[in-house]
Amino acid sequence: MRVLVVGSGGREAAIAWACERHGHEVRSEAGFDPTRDAEVDLVIVGPESALVAGTADACAAAAVPCFGPTESLARLESSKGFTRALAQQLGIPSPAFFRTDDAHAAITWWRALERPVVVKLDGLAAGKGVIVPDTPAETDAAIRSLAAQGPIVLEERLTGPECSLLALCDGRTAVPLPIAQDHKRIHEGDSGPNTGGMGAYAPAPTGHDAHELTKRFVQPVLDHFAAKGEPYVGVLYAGLMLTPDGPKLLEFNCRFGDPEAQAVLPLLQSDLAQLALACCEGRLDSVEVVVRPGAACTVVAAAAGYPEAPVSGATITGLRDDGDTSAGSDVADGGALVFPAGTDGTRVTGGRVLAVTGLGPDLSAARDAAYARMARISFDGMQVRRDIGWRAVAATLSSYAAAGVDIDEGTRAVDAMRTAVERTHTPAVLAGVGSFGGAFSAAAIKAMDDPVLVASTDGVGTKVELAARLGRYRGVGADIVNHCVDDVLVQGATPLFFLDYVASSRLVAEHVAEVVTGMAEACEACGCVLLGGETAEMPGVYAPGAFDIAGTLVGVVDRADLLPQPGVAAGDVLLGVASSGPHTNGYSLLRKVFSWMPMDAVPAGFDRPLGETLLEPHRSYLPVLRDALATGRVKALAHITGGGLPENLPRVLPDGVAARVRLGSWPVPPLFDLVRSVCTSIDDHELYRTLNMGIGMVVVCAPDDLGAVQATIAERTWVIGELVPGAREVTLHH
């Protein structure tokens, strides 16, 4: 066929490629002219502006098949208020909304809603007429700013990952293409201003079937307009948010997305032109839509200054490559396609300059192919996000075990060894396997009435891999000391001495010195002696560059002050003390979640780079809680380490007592909040037993003593729950 693709961006380049590879004659233009293009067999409209301008209506008048809706139906994209009203009428799951051109009325509605909102221009804004304010002041300013430009729509702010559902429509039938996920923000970690899209990948692991989503979000729209005698022909693109309450509609677009088209169309094995023609002729149900297995990843290169003020004129090198797949042919797994957009072939002429799409048997391979090809392209001021597809890793994790660590297996190991270990115990052992640290009566310490030695041995886990990768060693030295200090503190003990162990594939004196210096600084801060240690060089056991550390700490407490106290009972309150970060637990999950995020990226809401946030040292709670312990009102302490709140609180509870923890009773720090937002397949119990989620130590005290205990702690604390009758377990509830 002779196919005219209306538009000239990266999306239109992908549409043209998808038609040319099946032998069609394709040309691209800014618009359709009936007097000039009457010999065209098929028109496929790329940009929304052409649809709103009536391109499909002009084609109909000239009896030329057009894959794209009429000007009237394009209101689904050109008017957000129209779409919101229609979705409400059809019962399509959507956020609460309010359309107005009056800033005062909008502010009144927002304040009555008492929830965060998103502020949008009602009309087309090239993907940039949306403000997501974070504070009341920002919300007020956003409403006034956009209302000054025209009618606006306020929408209840939803939470969850977004995805793009693109369906081919013939007026009666809708067939989905692979679900994609776009990356709107300019910078890594989804930070910075919104853009037209800096990359996309497909299929996105949403946990939802594309056909079921199509029935819920697209088919009702087709049925509605078909009943009115206005068949919708073209692509209907539903932007969805996967909220905790299920998928909800963010917006409708009336065309292929950009850059979603560059990711989705290379996965389409069927002839796009033939499918588009079938839609125009109302017979989509008679043709097969075939999608190739595997995945596609699209990475966009943008001009300097984009999105606010793109700078044109830079010379592009590497745009053409002997290894590129030519127009009219397919691309093999591991190959890449370059789709030009804001370029004349040699120089930068627009904001989003080009897109590179890699294909592979899975997303990791497709992503590698895309970035390998992008690495051969350059121009001054080139902006490329290095984390396209990063959310997909987290979305496929359903448990900590999926990241390579099985908590249950660790528990079984403890149970299996318990009998053998307890055969060695004497009456002097007061706390052994399963407690935070071994407790041993040491009456020889005459300064106390009945001194008890408390010992803790621990490691730092896979956090050391991240430290080695970033060359930041001192913090993990502090980690191991403070972890052990906190483990003996929960039994009321203060530290006496610490012994360390450092092992690596190859000893590097400077690295070892940094680790041990971190240990020494942490020991000094808590009045503990760094008594000695061991270094081991173990080539062939550790991978090159890898290292590990462990340590043993011995503390002492008078038996009368040993925690937990006998009086722990139902009715006691749980007081949460803030963690300084993940501490030393959950790093197998965290490293996997952020495996495609550069460590120097500053995600939205963060105040420093991701790597620094992840490597924040495990804090010591001894100086924080020393005065509280001196009051004699603390009944128990629980250090929130591996196993999180669900598995650490029971370790200090007597039989017949359980704990209820109220989620939302303390502010979850940005790192944990981001992990929670992307690990959509991990439920609350699994998440809160993998990470401390912002609470590093829990103080148990009687309700009448709460004020006195809090008064001794020189930082903010939170009542996060209470003890109740039950079977030594933790219940998490909202």
Sketch the domain layout of the chain as residue ranges: 2-67, 96-157, 397-417+563-734, 427-558
Report the pLDDT value the prediction gives residue 424, as an integer from 0 to 100. Answer: 46
Amino acid at 474: R
Topology (CATH level 3) of domain 2-67: Rossmann fold (3.40.50)
Looking at 471-564, list the stretches that DSSP marks H as alpha helix, in order from N- to C-terminal side.
474-489, 509-525
pLDDT in tens, 154-201: 999 999 999 999 999 999 999 999 999 999 999 999 999 889 999 999
Q: How far apart are CA 51 and CA 296, in angstroms?
A: 28
Q: How far apart are CA 634 and CA 579, in angstroms?
A: 19
* Beta carbons within 8 Å of 216's beta carbon, 6+ residues apart: 92, 93, 247
HSE (side-chain half, CA atoms, 13 Å) at 286: 10
Amino acid at 540: G
Segment of 21-35, 443-457, 632-646 carrying the highest mean pLDDT: 632-646
Quick one: pLDDT band at residue 39, thresholds 50, 70, 90? confident
Report the pLDDT value the prediction gives residue 128, as an integer from 0 to 100. Answer: 62
Between these two residues, 396 and 590, which has the higher pLDDT value? Answer: 590
HSE (side-chain half, CA atoms, 13 Å) at 685: 6
pLDDT in tens, 15-38: 999 999 999 999 999 888 877 877
Q: Is pLDDT of 553 > 60?
A: yes
Quick one: pLDDT band at residue 502, thresholds 50, 70, 90? confident
Q: What is the mean pLDDT of residues 85-107?
A: 94
Report the pLDDT value the prediction gives residue 601, as an integer from 0 to 100. Answer: 96
Report the pLDDT value the prediction gives residue 421, as an integer from 0 to 100. Answer: 40
Q: How far apart are CA 10 and CA 128, in angstroms?
A: 18
What percentage of the chain has pLDDT greater than the value 90? 78
* Beta carbons within 8 Å of 583's beta carbon, 6+ residues apart: 479, 483, 618, 619, 640, 641, 692, 696
Q: Give the number of other Cβ atoms within 10 Å of residue 134's Cβ.
A: 11
- 66 touches 280 (CB < 8 A): yes
Q: How far apart are CA 555 and CA 442, in angstroms?
A: 11
Model pTM score: 0.87
Q: What is the mean pLDDT of residues 62-90?
A: 95
Report the pLDDT value the prediction gives residue 131, as an integer from 0 to 100. Answer: 86
Q: Is pLDDT of 543 > 90?
A: no
Q: How far apart are CA 135 and CA 719, in angstroms?
A: 25
Q: What is the mean pLDDT of residues 429-450?
A: 65
Report the pLDDT value the prediction gives residue 413, as an integer from 0 to 100. Answer: 47
Report the pLDDT value the prediction gives residue 414, as an integer from 0 to 100. Answer: 45
352-360/295-302 β-pairing: antiparallel
Quote the tokens at residue 399: 């448990």
Q: What is the mean pLDDT of residues 49-61?
A: 94
Architecture of domain 96-157: 2-Layer Sandwich (3.30)
Report the pLDDT value the prediction gives residue 326, as an integer from 0 to 100. Answer: 52
Residue 500's SS3 state is strand
Q: How far apart are CA 332 and CA 507, in angstroms?
A: 44
Report the pLDDT value the prediction gives residue 266, as an integer from 0 to 100. Answer: 97
CATH superfamily to which 397-417+563-734 belongs: PurM-like C-terminal domain (3.90.650.10)
Quote the tokens at residue 58: 């002009």
Q: How far apart are CA 602 and CA 599, in angstroms?
A: 8
Architecture of domain 427-558: 2-Layer Sandwich (3.30)
* Beta carbons within 8 Å of 459's beta carbon, 6+ residues apart: 480, 548, 549, 550, 551, 584
- 451 touches 445 (CB < 8 A): yes
Q: Is pLDDT of 360 > 80?
A: yes
Report the pLDDT value the prediction gives residue 346, as an integer from 0 to 100. Answer: 95
Q: Range with the lowest mean pLDDT among 214-223, 261-270, 510-519, 598-607?
A: 510-519
Q: What is the mean pLDDT of residues 125-139?
A: 81
Report the pLDDT value the prediction gives residue 446, as an integer from 0 to 100. Answer: 75
Q: Is pLDDT of 217 > 70?
A: yes
- 68 touches 255 (CB < 8 A): yes
Quick one: pLDDT band at residue 321, thresholds 50, 70, 90? confident
Q: What is the mean pLDDT of residues 395-413?
A: 67
Q: How far apart are CA 564 and CA 489, in angstroms?
A: 11
Q: Is pLDDT of 328 > 60?
A: no
Quote the tokens at residue 109: 């509605």
Report the pLDDT value the prediction gives residue 322, as an integer from 0 to 100. Answer: 64
Quote the tokens at residue 412: 């079984």
- Mean pLDDT estimate for the chain: 91
Q: What is the mean pLDDT of residues 305-329?
A: 82
Q: Is pLDDT of 249 > 60?
A: yes
Report the pLDDT value the prediction gives residue 520, as an integer from 0 to 100. Answer: 87
Quick one: pLDDT band at residue 420, thresholds 50, 70, 90? very low
* Beta carbons within 8 Å of 150's beta carbon, 6+ residues apart: 101, 121, 122, 123
